[in-house]
Chain A
Amino acid sequence: MNALAIDNLDISYGDSKVTHGIGFNVAEGESFALVGESGSGKTTVLKAIAGMAKSWTGSISVFGAPRSHGIDRGFAKQCQMVFQDPYGSLHPRKTVDATLSEPLAIHGIGDSGARVDEVMQSVGLDRRFRFRFPHQLSGGQRQRVAIARALILKPQMLLLDEPTSALDVSVQAEILNLLKRLRREQGLTYLMVTHNLPVVSFLCDRLAVMRHGRVVEIADVDQLKRGALVDPYSRELTKFSAAHLQN
């Protein structure tokens, strides 16, 4: 079964249409990347799936169930989102414990003490950080909290919006290793938005290249590694990343 099936998706903000006829499937357990430059509509696709961009036509189905246009609890249990900037996505006046307990309270799940403990352990956060505020944590620790917040409801799929672009390279390596390990251990499905192609090579199985609100190419990550993407725009993107490395 497909974890996510998107067909002919047009999303608009007000009168302006942002994406045009987007379609792709993500298999269960797969890690799929959406790449492209800012303004290509990749984050908007994630928002539509998460219910944050409400005016769209076409179809989105998650684990076989058609997605509504808003936010619903059943969906939130299956699929969670991790945002780009760990400095902006955590409530500055809530402790790690409060941030992690809130989804449990919303869903009426008890035993929050033990669950928070467990999820913190799985993302590699020491116990002593539990009652700290975000400003007392480093960027990497904050992103771990954001990932823990997404994982605490035990979802099957994560929507990752540039999860490492705000972090240093060494911290990025830690978070990428963490995401890879969590996926292996918990059988998660990832849909990741990024403009960093080497990150795609490390973490993903397939990718879709987007430009001006359209998917121009869907390819296997092996094709990316061999530099064998077909579409001229994808080749241009690869060239930029590769030029970086040769020097």
Chain B
Amino acid sequence: MNALLEIRNLKVTFPTARGPVDVVKGLSLTLGRERLGIVGESGSGKSMTGRSILRLIRSPGQVTADEMTFNGTDLLSLSERQMRAIRGARISMVMQDPKFSLNPVMTIGDQIAEALLTHQKLARSDIRSRTLAMLEAVRINDPERVLGLYPHEVSGGMGQRVMIAMMLIPEPDLLIADEPTSALDVSVQAQVLEIIDDLVKRKGMGLILISHDLDLVSAYCDRILVMRSGEVVEECDAGELKNAKHPYTRGLLASIPRIDESRDELPVLERTGAST
């Protein structure tokens, strides 16, 4: 398999008053054109992993790795300018909440077109037709009307689909989706994930889906990494999640209420330190 992304010994460090703290401690992964899920609780370092791939971690945070190559390019040695050519065009990222990630004073059409124009020179009519086609691809009915709307005029689910459209229109090779649906309703969640899934499969992209929802990740990924305090504690095929061996993964799985719930109390993870 031709590796799309290769990471060896990734470390993300933040200085604190009590000395440097590693939020990601030596993570390694190889990603082909497949769907990889990263799960863990808040603070497990899963989002930091996603951000460090795009070199979005700002100073004073520091990213080091023995190797971080994307399609043969060493991401760590690129200049900021070269990195900008990769962001969006080759690797793009869908953020958690459309309310905060879309520009409130630009129309949806302009924002999607901007994503395209940043990386390519195109005629105005081409841009319009590609934007419309992309909105249709994310199953927005009546794209002509939506083009002229501002983000506050659309629902959360639609906002998230607009963001996906914006991220996918330059046709990247790798999509990083950081909690793409946690701000959405259950019914809309499934829709949004199916759209991502469909586009990823059709275009043969790689996907990294970052989430705290184990059920969701196991439903939409091929392979899963479980992270805890900056380390990968378990790696398994999505279908094998139920047979996970690590006590932490088993604990997480058990703490989710089921729709046919009959337990009187949910099992809770033991925490180190008395911080519940």
Q: Spell out A's residues near B (CB within 8 Å).
A: 37-39, 124, 126, 138-141, 168-174, 176-177, 180, 195-199, 201-202, 224-227, 236-238, 240-245, 247
Contact = CB atoms under 8 A, between A and B. Distances in A.
Nearest to B275: A138
Contacts of B275: 138, 141
Contact of A169 (B155, B214, B259): B214
21 contacts: A38-B155, A138-B275, A141-B275, A141-B276, A170-B268, A173-B257, A173-B268, A174-B276, A176-B257, A195-B185, A196-B186, A197-B259, A198-B258, A198-B259, A199-B257, A202-B257, A224-B259, A240-B190, A242-B259, A244-B219, A247-B215
B190 A39 contact: no
Interface string B231-256: 00000001000000000000110011
Contacts of A37: 185-188
Contacts of B260: 201, 225-226
Contact of B259 (A124, A180, A225): A225
B213 to A, nearest CB: 7
Interface string B154-184: 0110000000000000000000000000000
Nearest to B255: A173
Given A39-B155, A244-B215, A247-B218, A177 B258 contact: no
B142 interface: no
A238 B238 CA distance: 23
Contacts of A197: 186, 259
A172 B255 contact: yes
Contacts of B156: 38
Given A195-B186, A242-B259, 17 more contacts: A37-B188, A126-B274, A173-B266, A173-B267, A176-B266, A180-B264, A195-B185, A198-B258, A201-B257, A201-B258, A201-B259, A225-B259, A225-B260, A240-B187, A240-B189, A244-B186, A247-B218
A32 B262 CA distance: 17
Majority SS at the chain B contact face: loop
Contacts of A38: 155-156, 185
